[in-house]
């Protein structure tokens, strides 16, 4: 609603089965948590809109409509809003409201192409918007957001949203080497490169050659969000978790087992080129620090799916 006048109407939007529906806690840009109802791709979105006047006034309007919108908001060069879903239906013809009016709405079997997402420079939102048109004043609007999940555990990915594991493919071991010629050679081996958000990363670190005085080693998960296209793309990296896996000097032939439970962290699926607007990727980063505080690291991308 406009901030420059006191709207004469109150608009309340309620989804069907709000009490029994599952909710998710999502961080706002201010850092607080809000609960949003969960919807899935292909699910019908229905509910009721109730409009009330304030102070017993009578309010003339030029129609009431409800919209179901899907938008991508990016901050690569100021706020850019791209609409990829837009459905609308009229709730009421031009008339006068003098008492509470309730209007049902329904958008059947809606294709929700992408999952919802909130990052630093990109947001993908689905919401219902009610618009009351007026002749000589600003229109009165109200929005209510939902959170969309895709059940992608059986698919290989759709090429534009999250990439997921194919259960029919055999598991293959992934190896990541950290090395400096004639000084250091470390092999980090883990069981696969595709993980569900509740999965466990199981692996080992094997020291093949150690001629440096290694003091400390840590493993991190890093999320990298990219908005826009080269050469004007903006990339932001966030360390999701960092933990120490070794404190002290290793010796040649030593092996350190790794077991990292993903379920306890705030992770998102891998997204690649969502509507040509943004991507998010997750990297497994191994960092070694020697006694002179020099850092040696290697990163490898892992694919996350719901």
Q: Are residues 17 and 134 in the same domain?
A: yes
CA 165 to chain centre: 18
What is the model's pLDDT at position 172? 62
* φ, ψ (nearest 5 deg) of residue 111: -75, 120
Q: How far is the C-alpha of 126 from the C-alpha of 70, rounded, in Å?
A: 4
What is the model's pLDDT at position 245? 82
Residue 155 lies in a domain: no
Domain that holds residue 59: 9-149
What total number of domains does the chain contain? 2
pLDDT < 50 regions, the chain: 1-4, 154-171
DSSP string, 244-295: EEEES---TT-EEEEEEEGGGS-----EEEETTTEEEEEEEEEEEEETT--E
Can you read off the two tokens belonging to residue 63? 């129609």
What is the model's pLDDT at position 161? 41
Can you read off the two tokens belonging to residue 191? 């069981």
Residue 44 lies in a domain: yes
**DSSP-derived secondary structure letter, 171:** P
Show which of 134, 149, 164 is a domain's final residue: 149
Query: Can you tell me whether residue 183 is helix, strand or coil?
Result: coil
What is the model's pLDDT at position 167? 37
What is the model's pLDDT at position 164? 38
Show which of 149, 182, 204 is a domain's final residue: 149
pTM of the model: 0.82
Q: Are residues 138 and 198 in the same domain?
A: no
Q: Are residues 77 and 197 in the same domain?
A: no
Q: Are residues 62 and 144 in the same domain?
A: yes
Q: Are residues 134 and 221 in the same domain?
A: no
Q: What is the bridge-based pairing of β-strands 200-210 and 255-261? A: antiparallel
Residue 183 lies in a domain: yes
What is the model's pLDDT at position 131? 95
Q: Are residues 20 and 145 in the same domain?
A: yes
CATH (domain of 89): 2.60.40.640
Q: Are residues 95 and 210 in the same domain?
A: no
Residue 198 lies in a domain: yes
Reported as a single tens digit per residue, the pLDDT across 148-181 is 998 765 344 333 343 333 333 444 677 777 667 6
What is the model's pLDDT at position 159? 36
Q: Are residues 117 and 23 in the same domain?
A: yes
Q: Are residues 193 and 266 in the same domain?
A: yes
Q: What count of other Cβ atoms lies within 10 Å of the Cβ of residue 173?
A: 10
Write down the residue that tokens 């080269």 correspond to.
230
What is the model's pLDDT at position 118? 93
């Amino acid at each position: 609603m406009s901030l420059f006048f006191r709207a004469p109407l109150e608009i309340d939007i309620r989804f069907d089965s709000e009490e029994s529906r599952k909710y998710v806690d999502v961080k706002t840009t201010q850092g607080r948590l809000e609960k949003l109802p969960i919807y899935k791709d292909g699910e019908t979105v229905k509910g009721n809109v109730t409009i009330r006047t304030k102070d017993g006034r009578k309010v003339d309007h030029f129609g009431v409509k409800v919209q179901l919108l899907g938008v991508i908001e990016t901050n690569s060069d100021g706020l850019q809003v791209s609409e990829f879903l837009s459905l609308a239906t009229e709730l009421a013809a031009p008339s006068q409201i003098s008492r509470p009016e309730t209007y049902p709405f329904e958008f059947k079997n809606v294709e929700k192409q992408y999952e919802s997402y909130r990052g630093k420079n990109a947001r993908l939102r689905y919401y219902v918007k009610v618009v009351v048109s007026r002749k000589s004043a600003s229109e009165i609007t109200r929005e209510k957001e939902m959170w969309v999940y895709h059940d992608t555990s059986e698919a290989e990915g759709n090429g534009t949203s999250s990439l997921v594991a194919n259960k029919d493919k055999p598991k293959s071991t992934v190896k990541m080497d950290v090395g400096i010629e004639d000084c250091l050679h470390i092999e980090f081996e883990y069981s696969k490169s595709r993980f569900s958000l509740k999965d466990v990363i199981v692996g080992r670190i094997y020291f093949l050659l150690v001629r440096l005085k290694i003091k400390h080693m840590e493993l991190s998960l890093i999320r990298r969000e990219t908005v826009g296209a080269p050469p004007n793309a903006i990339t932001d990296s966030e360390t999701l978790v960092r933990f120490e896996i070794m404190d002290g000097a290793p010796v040649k032939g030593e092996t350190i087992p790794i077991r990292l439970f993903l379920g306890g962290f705030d992770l998102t699926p891998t997204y690649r080129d969502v509507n040509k607007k943004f991507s998010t990727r997750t990297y497994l980063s191994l960092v070694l620090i020697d006694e002179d505080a020099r850092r040696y690291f290697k990163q490898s991308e892992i694919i996350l799916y719901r």
